[in-house]
Every structure is written in C-alpha cells, then in structure tokens.
Structure 1
Amino acid sequence: MAGSRGVVLAALFANGAIAVLKFLGFILTGSPSMLSETYHSVSDTGNQVFLLIGIRYSDKQTSREHPFGYGKAQFFYSFLVAVLLFGIAGWESVKHGYDAIVHGTHGVAGPVSIAGFSFPSWYVNVAVLLGAIGFESYAFAKANKELRRQIDKYGWTGLRDAFRKTSDVTTLTAFTEDTIALLGAGLALAGILLSKATGNEIYDAVTALLIGIMLMGFAVALAWENKRLLLGESLPAEVEAELRAAIENAPQVVHVDTFRTVYIGPQSVLVTTDVSFVPETQATDLDELIADLEAELRAVDDRIEHVYVEPEV
C-alpha cells in the first residue's frame, strides 16, 4: 500500500504542474493539441485525487457491515477514474480536435510576448511539452519501479501479464496513465513541429483528435480491468494450484474437496476450502491443524488475508 501511495503522490505532483503549464501554453498560443493535452493533464490530476481517496477509504477498519474491510474501494474509485475523468476528457479532446479539423484552428500565428521578451508561438508549446515530458518521466519511473517489483515478486512474465493479473489497480492506473501522458505529449509535440515545418495547421488539429481517441481507449481498458475485480475475480489458476498443493501435502490431509479464492482488495485475498482429514484425526487436534494450514497458505502467497477451512473427517 505504501508503494501505491508513493506512486500516486508522485503522479499528482507531476500532473498538477503539467496541467498549469499546458493551460498557459494554450492561452498564449491557442494550439488545439495543447488544449487536448490540458484536458488530459487535468483528468490525470483528478485521477490521482480519486485514487488517493480510494487508498484512504480502503484503510478503514472492518465493521459489521463490511466484515472483510473496504479494500474494494480502490477498485471502485479506479472505475470512476475511467468513466468520469478519462472518458469525459477524451471525449472533449476528440470534439475539439474534430472541430479544429473541420473549421480550422484559431492559434496565435505571430510572436508571443512573455515578461517583455518575444518568442514565436510554437517555441512556447515546444518548451511546455518538453517540460511535461520531463515531469511525466519522473512519475512514470516511480510507477514502473513499483510495477516491476510486483512482476518480480509474483513471477509474472511481463507488463502484459501484470495488466491481466494484478489486483493493485492504483499502481496499474498510475503506470498506464503516465505511459499515455508521455505518448500524448509526444504526439502533441510532433503535431506542432509538423505544422511549423509545413505551414499547415491540420497536423496540430489531427494530433488533438488522436490524443482524445487514445484517452478514450485507455478509459475502456481501465474500466474493463476494474470490472473483473469488482465482480470478484479469483487468484490465477497456477497460484490456486500451488495453494491447493500446499494443503494436500499437509499432515493428516486426505483430500481437498473444494477450494475457492477471491480478491477482497488490492493484494488482499479471501480463501475458503473444504478439507478431508484422515479418519483418526481427533476433534481436539483440528484447531492446530487448521492454524498450520492457514500459516502454510500465507507462506505460499502473502496476499492471503482471510482463510476459512471447513474440516471433513
């Protein structure tokens, strides 16, 4: 959890600074792609606020109404990020880019004056985008480090495997968001430079449209990943097989009759199982046997938080 919070705070700092820079760049130059990038960074900043709320809410103590805690709050707030922030920001960027393509842009063609100095308008956009890439690279490095740590820890094959299997949607959201932000800034930079080189503003407008489409695509992908966890996904089959084998190899266990797992929060799993013990097992020994099974399961995978064993003798 601490790793996720650090990733989110780094991204919040970077995206807040970038949003201000991009908006100033748009005000000074009127560039369509800069406005799309402003929408993008504002949505990213709001994203981090929602994720921090989710982290804070998930830290609440268990209660009668929520006996397994509030861990799924992070799934819910990440889903809100996808639907409310990225979807809306992406749609606004698409509309603005389309309007600029159809009706033309209204950018500042002449020089821009800042503190008594005059610059070509495209200089301002390039400087802002290069600054944005620098800030985003910092946030991306933090998110990438945390995600790589999880990949090494759980033996995933790479980023694609992590995207399908991780329950830490907070880190996943921040990582993907930072990746999209770097791509968006790169697209905007390419569009502005192409418009400058050719004298045709269509490239700036087209990149604004592409940034919006990219944001909306991410919104769909993120919502889909949160859906599987909100609906109650189990651990991957290969992990369940390891856990089941750990029970079957335990002393006095004859057979595992049923075995189920479900995520109840980021990196937090509930396990229920029916276990048949040897007929000679005494009822007085069951408590110790079950406690040993719980410890063995947690030794195999530290994400396991709750274990319920139903003994069959």
Structure 2
Amino acid sequence: MNNWMSLLKNGNKPALLAAIVNIVIAGLKAVAFFLTGNVAMFAEMMHSIGDAANQLFVYVGSALSRKAPTPKYPNGFGRIVNLVCLGAVLIVAILSYETIVGGIHHILHPTESGGLWINLSVLGIGVVLESFVLFKASKEVLHDAGVEAKGFSSFTKSFAHLKKAKPPTKLVFMEDLVATSGGLIAIISVLLAHFFGWFASEGVASIIIGIMMFYVVGKVFLENARGAIGETDEEMLTHISHLLAEDPDIVDIQRVEVVKEGEFLHVEIIAEVATSNTVDYVLKVKNRLLTTILNQKGIQDAIISLVGDDGVQSWTGSNSSNLIENRAKLPE
C-alpha cells in the first residue's frame, strides 16, 4: 500500500486537479440539466463526465509509468501513460458521439427549455473553474518545455510549446481548452434560445462541442499510438548527436537512438574512439559521456557502447538526418 501511495504522489498534478474540478462541474451541470432539460447543458455535462474520467485515468497512469524497472519488466513502465491515454480517448469518443446525436435530435425536434439563470450560473461557474485549470495546465506545458513565463503570457506561449509537453499534460491542456470554449458556446446558445427564440441553437452548440471533443480524440490518439509503439524524439536525437560529435574523444558516431518511453527518453549510442586509447581511458570517456547525457532534460536512461575506429566516416557533421536514414544499415 505504501508503494502505491508513493507512486500516486508522483502522478501528473494538473491531471488530478482537472479531474477534481470536472467532477464538481459535472455534478453541477447534471443538476442543471435535470432541472431545465437544456440540451447544450446535457452536452456540457457529458463533456465534463468524460474529462473527469479521463483525467483520473491519466493521473493514475502517469504515476504508474514512473515505477522502476523490475526483472520481469526490465524496460520499465514508461509507456503505460500512452496506453492509458489511448484508453481515455475512447471514453471521450463515445461521449462525443452521444453529444452529437443529441444535438442533431434537438435541431430536428427543437423544444424550449427553461431555467435561464440556472443554466447561465452553472455554465459561468464551469467556465471560470475550467479557465483556472487551463491556466495551470499551460504553466505545466511550459515547465515540461523548459520555458519560463509569467501571467497571461503563460497561456499564449503554451500553444507554441505544446509539442514538447508530456502526454498527460498535453491531454489535460487540450481537454480543458475544449471545455472552456464549449462552456462559452453553450452560454451563447442559451442566450440565443431565450432572447431570440432560436431553440435549435442549443442543438447546434451540442454538435460543435461534440466535434471539438472528436478533434481531441483524434489528436491525442495519434500521438499516444506513436508513443506506445516507440517514437523517435528527433529534436533530442539531433542534440545528442551534436554533443557526441563535439566531444574531443569521439572519432565517429555509428548509431544514435532516442526513443520516447512515456514521459521520458531512452538513449542508445554506438560511437567510435581512437584505437590507441587504453581500456581505462575509454571507460572514463564512457562515464563522462553517460553523466552528460543523463543530465539532459527528460532522459531517464542511456546505453553507450564505445568501439574502435573502423576508418569509415558515418557522421556527416551537418545534422542527424544521415543517421536517421542509415540506421537500418548499421550493426545492431
């Protein structure tokens, strides 16, 4: 039990915060929907339920992914977070479908719903709380990317660095961005229905919210599918390759692999050193390189093999593309 609790403490904090907030919001929206019968509120309720479930799964998955390797699982558990995110988006996909179907039905058979101030109050509270979580998630995105920002600039800058965020952080950010936008759309639809008599607007809002949820499903599914398979981090691959190329003791680089393992990176290197070096000296070079590489952001483990210079130049000195293209031809 203590091991589980210590693991959960290391889970993704924005995901836990978002889950708690969405549970509260889902409860408020459920009450409002049953009191008013508002279809846009139903869409928002479904959205919040899906987000809460997702974010709880993601929080637990991000915690489990940090579990240390075992003899039975020597490669560790890093990709668990990708698998959890894949499962989470399936829930969102089902709720997205139900939301769109409900919206279409309301457009074909529009009905008037009451409780204007109940709907506006609940949706307003939801937008405020979701905005708070979104702001926290944007700061976590910048933290993952190693970028500093203060105030509202954290939110604007987070879009440019979203690709560098960890899978759980990215999922929370995208879900809360849709949730905040969806809340505003639902408010507009309620006002249109009440003041202009366009009751179908609530159905239109439901469809728009469902489509936005489907966008998150597609985006997150593709990214985590690549992560579950084992995707190369091209930016870090280039960075590590140049670190090796600039090292005075490295004569040539045969192979560099930088693979994403959930939230972390796994590095494998085969490099050449001068054949005149002693074994003791080569071991010191290896330990020095290992320390340097493990100090790079996001790298959890590295395997370095140093071999004697074979006289054939593999590294071009310009970028990592030559290595990427020729990795299949290199010895394993």
Among candidates 127, 149, 161, match of residue 121 of structure 2: 127
Among candidates 10, 21, 25, match of residue 32 of structure 2: 25
Aligned-partner residue type, residue 262 of structure 1: V
Aligned-partner SS, 2:297: coil
1:104 aligns with 2:102: no
Among candidates 279, 284, 304, match of residue 280 of structure 2: 284
1:249 aligns with 2:252: no
1:217 aligns with 2:215: yes
How many residues in Structure 1 have an aligned counterpart in Structure 2?
295
1:312 aligns with 2:307: yes
CA contact (8 A) 1:235 1:263 kept: yes
TM-score by length of 2: 0.83
CA contact (8 A) 2:12 2:63 kept: no
Among candidates 184, 200, 203, match of residue 202 of structure 1: 200
Aligned-partner SS, 1:253: coil
Deviation by residue 1:2-38 (Cα, 9 ceiling, x = unmatched): 7862211211121011001111110110000000111
Deviation by residue 1:49-92 (Cα, 9 ceiling, x = unmatched): 11122023213231123212111111111111112x21011000
Structure 2 counterparts to residues 128-143 of structure 1, below 5 A: 128-143=122-137
Give the Cα separation in 2 of the matches to 1:2 and 1:153: 24
Aligned-partner residue type, residue 288 of structure 1: K
Query: Percent identity, aligned pairs only?
Result: 23
1:61 aligns with 2:68: yes
Pairwise CA RMSD: 2.1
Give the Cα separation in 1 of the matches to 2:160 and 2:103: 34
Which protein has greater RCO, CA pairs closer than 8 Å, 6+ apart? 1
Give the Cα separation in 1 of the matches to 2:266 and 2:113: 58
From the superposition, tell whether residues 216 and 50 of structure 1 become closer, same or farther in structure 2 (CA, over 3 Å): same
Q: Tell me, which stretches of 5 or more residues in structure 2 are unaligned?
A: 1-7, 149-155, 309-332
Structure 2 counterparts to residues 165-180 of structure 1, below 5 A: 165-166=164-165, 168-180=166-178
* Matching residue of 1:147: 141
Aligned-partner residue type, residue 108 of structure 2: V
Deviation at 1:161, TM superposition (A): 4.8
* Matching residue of 2:328: none
Deviation by residue 1:183-239 (Cα, 9 ceiling, x = unmatched): 1101100000011111121111211111111111211111111122112111224x3
Moved more, 52-61 or 137-146: 52-61
Among candidates 1, 10, 23, match of residue 16 of structure 1: 23
TM-score by length of 1: 0.88
Deviation at 1:153, TM superposition (A): 4.0
